């Protein structure tokens, strides 16, 4: 277990602890029947804030091989995310990729985003360390380099794919990277002169405003605001040209990054509107209120003889259940549509994970939507459960800005 004592974005050394979830299991380390009887690895989950650039990052770094070589999360598990990435890919390819140009996705997961380009006159390549997901991507016709991205991988791609990439996409991956400079230098090797890097990351402002503490887990080493991201890219000779905000995953920034400081740029407005430093005491109070309200509601439901299941076994669900101490006596079961999760157990609290069809078979009184960022899609899918009187509850009311 490594600890990080300097800021990933500006390399400053003035890091201050601002929030701690204590020792937590790895959020995506779903357990077999046998493994729940064994001791589980845990690691401190502590947020540090850089007093120089505002970067927020974890104090501890879990070995990425442990977290990513066999990965449970699949992008294709959500129709909403498939549509989101398809729109992003179509728009970006039209804007930056010439005929037969090269599109490289870093953190390509199961190939969902690149598969949306099938039929387009472009060459695609995924880069992802998860061997199991590269196989799924291959079945979708998406070639994937099983590796962690950096300068060596960038050089290998340039040499083997006849030149640089016109478009590099990195969605929900930058927050997972320990050495951000190595990542940026890899982009400098791979990106064509007029090309673009499109980055999507969860937005720190949304985490703070909506008390989204369950999005804090060991995979997410960084919790980005605009200011530290701009500092990072500028330090590596890259320039943020445009910033958009999207509501997926609880609030996300989409940045367009170029080799040159093209105009127009809307960065100045974003920097002016970013409230710094975040109000951590209000955040801590909001998290505690959410935790107490949730435990109180689940306890009342159980004492009234009502049954509540979890809906979705997302990484954030593992954090919420463990940090709030919600074990099987309050929430006996979780359902999830992901084949790699069904039949396993939630890390730490050990709820069995069943297929969503079991919701209708057992008709629990309520479903706590642990995958609250997909609540609308889930409610549409489970209309029959609701029609029969089932109650779908999101952990905190102000989280779904759809």
314 binds ligand DWN (CB under 6 A): yes
373 binds ligand DWN (CB under 6 A): yes
76 binds ligand DWN (CB under 6 A): no
Question: Which CB sits closer to ligand DWN, 192 or 340?
Answer: 340
358 binds ligand DWN (CB under 6 A): no
Provide the minimum distance between the beta carbon of 157 and ligand DWN in the complex, in angstroms, as a whole number: 23
Angle at 233 between CA 229 and CA 236, to 5 degrees: 145
254 binds ligand DWN (CB under 6 A): no
Which of 287, 298, 367, 371 binds ligand DWN (CB under 6 A)? It is 371
Which of 77, 192, 222, 322 binds ligand DWN (CB under 6 A)? It is 77
Which of 132-140, 180-188, 260-268, 334-342 is the region at the interface with ligand DWN (rule: CB under 6 A)?
334-342
312 binds ligand DWN (CB under 6 A): yes
Question: Which CB sits closer to ligand DWN, 126 or 164?
Answer: 126
Residue 61 burial (10 A CB sphere; 0-12, 13-18, 19+)? middle
313 binds ligand DWN (CB under 6 A): yes
Q: What sign does the dihedral 300-24-171-345 (CA atoms) show?
A: negative
Question: Which CB sits closer to ligand DWN, 55 or 172?
Answer: 172
219 binds ligand DWN (CB under 6 A): yes
78 binds ligand DWN (CB under 6 A): yes
Provide the minimum distance between the beta carbon of 375 and ligand DWN in the complex, in angstroms, as a whole number: 9
Provide the minimum distance between the beta carbon of 214 and ligand DWN in the complex, in angstroms, as a whole number: 8
Question: Which CB sits closer to ligand DWN, 163 or 343?
Answer: 343
The 3-state secondary structure of the chain, one letter per residue: CEECCCCCCCCCCCEEEEEEEEEEECCCCCECCCHHHCCCCEEEEEEEEECCCCCEEECEECCHHHHHCCCCCCHHHCHHHHHHHHHHHHHHHHHHCCCCEEEEEECCCCCHHHHCCCCCCEEEEEEECCHHHHHHHHHCCCCEEECCCCHHHHHHHHHHCCCCEEEEEEECCHHHCCCHHHHHHHHHHHEEEEEEEEEEEEEHHHHHHCCCHHHCCCCCCEEECHHHHHHHHHHCCCEEEEEEEECHHHCEEEEEEECCCCCCCCHHHHHHHCCCCCCHHHHHHHHHHHHHHHHHHHHHHHHCCCCEEEECCCHHHHHHHHHHCCCCCCCCCEECCCCCCCCCECCCCCCEEECCHHHHHHCCCEEEECCHHHHHHHHHHCHHHHHCCCEEECCCHHHCCC
Cα–Cα distance for residue pair 31/53, rounded to 1 Å: 39
Which of 156, 181, 274, 377 binds ligand DWN (CB under 6 A)? It is 377
352 binds ligand DWN (CB under 6 A): no
Question: Which CB sits closer to ligand DWN, 345 or 374?
Answer: 374
Q: Is the bond into 264 cis (omega within 30 degrees of 0)?
A: yes
User: Looking only at residues 146 through 175 of this chain, which bind ligand DWN when binding is defined by CB under 6 A?
Assistant: 172
Which of 315, 326, 346, 367 binds ligand DWN (CB under 6 A)? It is 315
Which of 31-39, 119-127, 281-289, 312-320 is the region at the interface with ligand DWN (rule: CB under 6 A)?
312-320
Quick check: 188 and 158 in contact, CB under 8 A? no
Question: Which CB sits closer to ligand DWN, 267 or 367?
Answer: 367
Counting residues that bind ligand DWN (by CB under 6 A) gives: 22
Cα–Cα distance for residue pair 80/89, rounded to 1 Å: 14
Which of 2-10, 46-54, 256-264, 366-374 is the region at the interface with ligand DWN (rule: CB under 6 A)?
366-374
Cα–Cα distance for residue pair 171/215, rounded to 1 Å: 15
User: Looking only at residues 94 through 123 of this chain, which bind ligand DWN when binding is defined by CB under 6 A?
Assistant: none
Question: Which CB sits closer to ligand DWN, 128 or 166?
Answer: 128
Question: Which CB sits closer to ligand DWN, 44 or 356?
Answer: 356
24 binds ligand DWN (CB under 6 A): no
Provide the minimum distance between the beta carbon of 81 and ligand DWN in the complex, in angstroms, as a whole number: 6
- Residues of this chain that interact with ligand DWN (CB under 6 A) are 73, 77-78, 172, 219, 249, 312-316, 336-338, 341, 356, 371, 373-374, 377-378, 381
């Amino acid at each position: 277990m490594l600890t990080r004592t300097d800021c990933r974005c500006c390399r400053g050394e003035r890091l201050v602890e601002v929030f701690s979830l204590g020792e937590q299991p790895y959020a995506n380390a779903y357990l077999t029947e046998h493994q729940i009887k064994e001791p589980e690895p845990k690691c401190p989950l502590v947020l540090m804030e850089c007093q120089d650039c505002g970067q927020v990052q974890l104090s501890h770094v879990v070995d990425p091989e442990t977290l990513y070589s066999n990965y449970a999360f699949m992008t294709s598990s959500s129709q909403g995310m498939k549509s989101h990435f398809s729109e992003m890919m179509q728009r970006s390819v039209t804007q930056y990729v010439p005929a037969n140009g090269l599109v490289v996705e870093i953190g390509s997961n199961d190939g969902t985003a690149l598969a949306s380009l099938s039929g387009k006159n472009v060459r695609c390549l995924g880069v992802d360390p998860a061997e199991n997901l590269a196989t799924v991507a291959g079945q979708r016709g998406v070639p994937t380099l099983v590796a962690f991205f950096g300068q060596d991988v960038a050089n290998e791609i340039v040499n083997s794919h006849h030149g640089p990439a016109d478009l590099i996409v990195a969605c929900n991956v930058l927050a997972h990277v320990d050495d951000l400079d190595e990542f940026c230098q890899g982009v400098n090797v791979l990106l064509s002169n007029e090309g673009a890097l499109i980055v999507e990351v969860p937005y720190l402002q949304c985490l703070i405003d909506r008390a989204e503490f369950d999005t804090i887990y060991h995979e997410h080493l960084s919790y980005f605001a605009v200011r530290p991201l701009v500092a990072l890219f500028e330090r590596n000779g890259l320039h943020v040209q445009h910033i958009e905000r999207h509501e997926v995953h609880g609030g996300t920034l989409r940045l367009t990054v170029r080799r040159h400081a093209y105009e127009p740029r809307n960065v100045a407005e974003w920097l002016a509107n970013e409230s710094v430093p975040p109000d951590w005491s209000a955040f801590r109070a909001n998290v505690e209120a959410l935790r107490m309200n949730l435990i109180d509601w689940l306890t009342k439901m159980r004492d009234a003889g009502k049954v509540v299941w979890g809906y979705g076994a997302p990484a954030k669900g593992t954090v919420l259940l463990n940090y709030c101490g919600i074990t099987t006596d309050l929430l006996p079961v979780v359902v999830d549509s992901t084949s790699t999760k069904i039949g396993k157990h939630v890390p730490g609290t050990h709820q069995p994970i069943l297929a969503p069809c079991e919701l209708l078979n057992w008709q629990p009184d309520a479903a706590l939507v642990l995958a609250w960022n997909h609540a609308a899609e889930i409610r549409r899918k489970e209309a029959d459960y609701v029609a029969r009187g089932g109650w779908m509850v999101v952990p905190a009311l102000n989280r779904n800005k759809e």
